[in-house]
Structure 1
Amino acid sequence: MNFAIVGCGFIAKKHARAIEDIQGAQLVAVCDKEPKAMEYYTEVYGAAPFVELSEMLEREEIDIVCICTPSGLHAPLAEEAAKAGKHIILEKPMAMNLKETDQIIYACKEHNVKLAVVHPNRFRPAVQELRRILDQGLLGKISHVNATVNWNRNQEYYDQAPWRGTKQYDGGVLMNQAIHTLDLLLWFMGQPEQIFSMEATRLREIEAEDVSTGLIRFESGAIGVVETSTTVYQSNFEESITIFGEKGTVKIGGPNALYFECLTVEGMSEKETEEILDKVKADPWGKPGHQCIMENMMKAIKEDLEPAVTGEDGRAALGLVLAFYESAARNEPIYLKPVKVCM
């Protein structure tokens, strides 16, 4: 299948490398308002450059469009690609608000194209093992869960582009970094029911938050604690998820949530535990998540299946971020109900 990339910034290179590594996939076009930004992709991959998206979308051979622009620009680009009949792989977050997110989902359904959202952490080996443990009910009733992203993004990172750290186009640590961990939290724990959050901009000269903490009560009754920041000195300190159940405790941790720091499950033999730990240690990153998402999209198109990470999944993660923001702004708990896409 033939891919095109819209927005040739930092994340676009991950998309291009993933496409290159997939048998039967080819990057045939790129689009950016800055011609210089496209030079790398034309020289390395032979992709045709387009300044205007409408001209690129006229190319019939394009099957899938990867949208890699600043988040605040996603909605109109995704709608235009959907109207052109192109399947869409959309970088997180889907948009900066739920109205635009719903517009994207509706446009894809209306024009019968598939939509996948880039939450690649789901495909990490340790995460896949934890999901299997949960699916089998091995932890029993869940008591509570901790989710942590304490990372470093220095001022130079935010100064790379004027849109970084803005509320209109980028967001802060919750929207930009921790949304992947929040996606995993929802994937593991289900629908949140109540949220309380506090946030601040402590060390970075940005509009959005650089530190946030929050509490979640899930519909199951389990409690979640979320701690996120980009203020850690001097490098990424921890990304982790810990789940406490009546029959086990499991923690995936390290600077990038790649390893089991605790795997204690009732009835799981020492041999089985060691086999899981050794399997993850041998290949902690696994196949790159972007590549997994693209391969899954190709399969979804061929076999008319739902992508592994759907628009509704992306909307749920964004909705949780926005709920944290609302609670912090109001300085009070807020209550959530399962929502349907507003069309």
Structure 2
Amino acid sequence: MENPRIKLAIIGVGRMGITHNSIINSHPDVEITAIVETSPHILNLIKKYIKGINTYDDYHKLFENEKLDAVIICTPPTLHYAIAKEAAKNHIHVFSEKPFTTEKAKAEELAKIFEEQNLVNQVGYVNRFNDIFVTIKQYIQKGLIGEVLRFKSEMYSCTITNTEEGNTWRDSRKNGGGAVFEVASHAIDLVNYLIGKPDKVTGSCLKSVYSKHVEDAVNATFLYKNGISGTLNVNWSDESYRKPTNKIEIFGTQGKILADQHEIKIFMKRENAENNMRKGWNAIYITDIFRSVPFYVRGNEFTSQLYHFIECIQKQKMTTNCSFNDAVDTLDIIDAIFNDYELNGKF
């Protein structure tokens, strides 16, 4: 007998909600039964153009009226905690957009609840599903560039390029706004994924360029007990970047890796025939290594992460490649950056 289709709802239909809806709607084993959105205009458009979908303006009504297997949460981060907790009460699996919550204690609470109830939980740190970064992790694990000594994790975007009036959630850290939560979280999670969670954060600097109440640029230094060190450089007000770009530089005893979402450049001190690397510079492009997906929006990784979520539900695999616990680690480093800046970064 075939497995029944997974009944799923989307909560929040902004940019990411629309993206996730289009992707997950392509999955043959998923049925989107409901959508939650507070904007009357968007709800009216959904009712007009998408048939067979129940719509709600309040997530409480969703949980009261729908029998669901899973939800995808795409609301502003400050709402994630309450929605995910309500989902757990109804024994519903959750995919949440990053940064999961804005408070580490709440994130830890949710991680514990979902683990105790054996519910699949995943956070949208999409870099963990990008074929370039997956390949780099494999290279590091194989020791391709020897022992890792230092690194630099960067992310740039042109998200905020005009003076903010301070009346949107993006200009409120409490609501999950600011470059740290919105942009640096990706660069931090990428460090945790590739190198491991730092043991200490120091030298943190937060700089406002256009925003009134939050930072637009972030710099920090990460230190490890094993001697590795690295830097974080983030700016979401950089107009030289048309699209959000993650960059990683990793220096090892036997070589060096430079990469973004689309390309890897590797400098080798000596030839490595096993991995088809010559001495000197080598280049690998996303088109050389990408894993095909059945539906493409913005990048293969966006489809891969959602299909992974569904696969974990089907196989009752409770540990995903980016769990709530992984997101707790990222929030821990975010807290460390804020605390370090408050204590040591101001003059």
2:259 corresponds to which letter in structure 1?
I
CA contact (8 A) 1:3 1:64 kept: yes
Change (3 A) 1:160 1:39: farther
Deviation at 1:199? 2.6
2:190 corresponds to which letter in structure 1?
L
Unpaired runs of at least 5, structure 1: 333-343
Secondary structure, aligned partner of 1:307: coil
Deviating more after overlay: 227-236 vs 52-61 = 52-61
Q: What CA distance in whole angstroms lies between the structure 2 residues aligned with 1:296 and 1:285?
A: 13
Q: What CA distance in whole angstroms lies between the structure 2 residues aligned with 1:126 and 1:23?
A: 27
Secondary structure, aligned partner of 2:101: coil
Matched with 2:109 is 103
CA contact (8 A) 1:83 1:111 kept: no
Q: What CA distance in whole angstroms lies between the structure 1 residues aligned with 2:316 and 2:68?
A: 18
Change (3 A) 1:21 1:283: farther
1:133-148 maps to which residues of 2 (within 5 A)? Answer: 133-148=139-154
Q: What CA distance in whole angstroms lies between the structure 2 residues aligned with 1:109 and 1:269?
A: 43
Q: What CA distance in whole angstroms lies between the structure 2 residues aligned with 1:51 and 1:241?
A: 41
Counterpart check, 1:317 vs 2:301 = no
Q: Which of residues 243, 252, 255 in structure 2 aligns to 1:245?
A: 252
1:26-105 maps to which residues of 2 (within 5 A)? Answer: 26-42=31-47, 43-44=49-50, 46-59=52-65, 61-105=67-111
Deviating more after overlay: 70-79 vs 104-113 = 104-113
Q: Which of residues 6, 9, 15 in structure 2 aligns to 1:4?
A: 9
Q: What CA distance in whole angstroms lies between the structure 1 residues aligned with 2:90 and 2:185?
A: 29
Q: Which of residues 260, 265, 282 in structure 2 aligns to 1:261?
A: 265
Change (3 A) 1:280 1:264: farther
Deviation at 1:320? 1.0
Matched with 1:177 is 183
Q: What CA distance in whole angstroms lies between the structure 2 residues aligned with 1:261 and 1:119?
A: 23
Deviation at 1:211? 0.9
Change (3 A) 1:26 1:177: same
How many residues align structurally?
A: 329
Deviation at 1:261? 3.3
CA contact (8 A) 1:155 1:205 kept: no
2:17 corresponds to which letter in structure 1?
A
Q: What CA distance in whole angstroms lies between the structure 2 residues aligned with 1:98 and 1:161?
A: 25
CA contact (8 A) 1:92 1:117 kept: yes
Deviation at 1:285? 9.3
TM-score of the two chains, using structure 1 as the length reference = 0.87
What is the root-mean-square deviation in Å for CA atoms of aligned residues?
A: 2.7
Secondary structure, aligned partner of 2:257: strand
TM-score of the two chains, using structure 2 as the length reference = 0.86
Q: What CA distance in whole angstroms lies between the structure 2 residues aligned with 1:300 and 1:259?
A: 29
